[in-house]
Amino acid sequence: MPILGTPRTFHKRFKFVVEAEFASAGFQKCSELSVEVANIEYYEGGSLIPNKSPGRLKFADVTLERGATKDQDLFDWFSEVADAAANAGLVEPKFKRNVDIVQQDRDGSTLRRWSLSGAWPIKFVAGAWDNESDENVIESVTLTYDFFTLNP
C-alpha cells in the first residue's frame, strides 16, 4: 500500500552563517536558541486547583564558535561594548545590533533564517593555541539578545 501525503524532510547540520549589521562570518557551531515562558500560578478564594497563565519570556544566550580568520569584526564589536560598559556602566542602544543566523544547505541555499533582535556580545574567547596540534584555533563569541524570530 502506498504512503499518502508528503514524506518528512529533516535538515542536516551542514553549514551556518552569521550575518550582522557590521559583517558576515561563517561558523562551525552554534548553541541552541531557546525561549522559556514563566508559569504563573494563583489560587482564587481557597481553591485547591491553581489557575495557570503564561508569564514573562526568558531567552537563553547563544554561543557561536568559528575558525580564526584575518578579520576582527566580532572582537571589535565586543571591545566597543566592553569600553562603553567600563566607562559609563551601561551599554548604549547603538551597541545592540540585529544578527541573523542562517542555516544553509550543501549547495548554499538558505534553509532557515533566525533573526536575533538587539544582540550584543557578552563573552569573547580567542581560543587555545597548541603548536603540537594541527587543528584550527576556534574563536567563540557569546551573544545576548532581546528576542528572536524565525523568518520564512
Per-residue pLDDT 10s for the chain (152 aa) are 555 655 555 455 556 677 777 666 777 788 889 999 999 999 988 889 999 999 999 999 999 887 655 667 777 888 888 877 677 656 566 788 899 988 887 787 888 899 999 998 999 887 777 777 666 666 788 999 999 999 87
Domains, the chain: 15-151 (2.30.110.20)
| Residue among 63, 61, 71 nearest 22 (CA) | 71
**Cβ distance 52 to 41 under 8 Å?**
yes
How far is it, in rounded angstroms, from Cα 114 to Cα 117? 10
pTM (predicted TM-score): 0.74
Distances (CA, A) of 53 to 30, 39, 129, 148: 32, 6, 50, 22
Residue whose grid cell is 489560587: 43
